[in-house]
């Protein structure tokens, strides 16, 4: 998988600025961060975690999950050693931004067979960006993010050249046209990601149908 440095080099090459005469690595990092966020909104990571219950406690903090976008499902009670099928899904509610409430009549016991399996979505990460240790994008996702970053950089370049006197043959109109074409391709790629996500079967339904 590509790292932040790999994608910076890829974007700079696409912009015709491999030597960073126009855009610094820090600037391209900012555009990559923006493009990564846009991609994550379309197709975030789908993750799960097993959370031990605490005797008598119905409210659980989610700070340990790190940055997350949405809680998508909760199985309780859950025993990792002997999960039941279909899974049990109690009522629950996100009562604070990072705290959820388990709406069960009998309070958890805190035992090994009384845990919770929480499913959630999270932003994608890029190794080297904001202390991330791994890249979670596939090859297609890396290409889409690099495309978006190049488009954002060109768009900013076009705005920056308005009214400026330079020795470059590049004009604001040229950069704006280049950026517009790249932005259109970026949005088209994101739409494709959205369509694939919508078309994918819901794994929660699949579990129930398989029983």
What local confidence, expressed as pLDDT, does residue 172 receive? Answer: 79
Task: With beta carbons less than 8 A apart as the criterion, state whether 135 and 125 touch.
Answer: yes
What local confidence, expressed as pLDDT, does residue 31 receive? Answer: 98
For the chain, the three-class secondary structure string (H helix, E strand, C coil) is CCCHHHHHHHHHHHCCCCCCCCCCHHHHHHHHHHHHHHHHHHCCEEEEEEECCCCCCCEEECHHHCCCCEEEEEEEEECCCCCCCCCCCCEEEEEECCEEEEECCCCCCCCCCCEEEEEEEECCCCCCCCCCCCCCCCHHHHHHHHHHHHHHHHHHHHHHHCCCCCCCCCCHHHHHHHHHHHHHHHHHHHHHHHHHHHHCCCHHHHHHHHC
The predicted model scores a pTM of 0.86
State the sign of the Cα–Cα–Cα–Cα dihedral 201, 203, 204, 208.
Answer: positive
Q: Domain map of the chain by residue range?
A: 4-43+126-205, 45-122
Task: With beta carbons less than 8 A apart as the criterion, state whether 65 and 122 touch.
Answer: yes
What local confidence, expressed as pLDDT, does residue 73 receive? Answer: 96
What local confidence, expressed as pLDDT, does residue 205 receive? Answer: 46
What local confidence, expressed as pLDDT, does residue 206 receive? Answer: 40
Tens place of pLDDT per residue across the chain (211 aa) = 999 999 999 999 999 999 999 999 999 999 999 999 999 999 999 999 999 999 999 999 998 888 999 999 999 999 999 999 999 999 999 999 899 999 999 999 999 999 999 999 999 999 999 999 999 999 999 999 999 999 999 999 998 886 554 545 567 788 899 999 999 999 999 999 999 888 765 555 443 333 2
What local confidence, expressed as pLDDT, does residue 168 receive? Answer: 53
Q: How far apart are CA 90 and CA 143, in angstroms?
A: 40
């Amino acid at each position: 998988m590509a790292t932040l440095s790999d994608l910076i080099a890829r974007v700079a090459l696409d912009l015709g600025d491999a030597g960073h005469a126009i855009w610094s690595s820090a600037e391209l990092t900012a555009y990559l961060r923006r493009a990564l966020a846009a991609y994550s909104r379309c197709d975030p990571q789908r993750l799960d975690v097993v959370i031990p219950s605490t005797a008598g406690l119905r409210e659980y903090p989610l700070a340990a999950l790190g940055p997350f976008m949405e809680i998508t499902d909760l199985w309780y009670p859950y025993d990792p050693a002997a999960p039941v099928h279909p899974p049990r899904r109690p009522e629950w509610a996100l009562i604070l931004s990072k705290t959820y409430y388990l709406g069960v009549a009998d309070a958890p016991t805190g035992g090994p067979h009384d845990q919770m399996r929480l499913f959630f979505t999270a932003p994608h990460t890029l190794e080297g960006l904001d202390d991330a240790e791994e890249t979670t994008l596939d090859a297609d996702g890396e290409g889409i993010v690099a495309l978006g970053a190049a488009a954002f950089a060109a768009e900013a370049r076009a705005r920056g050249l308005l009214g400026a006197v330079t020795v470059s043959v590049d004009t604001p109109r040229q950069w704006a046209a280049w950026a517009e074409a790249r932005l259109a391709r970026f949005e088209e790629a994101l739409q494709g990601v959205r369509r694939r996500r919508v078309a994918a079967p819901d794994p929660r339904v699949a579990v129930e149908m398989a029983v």
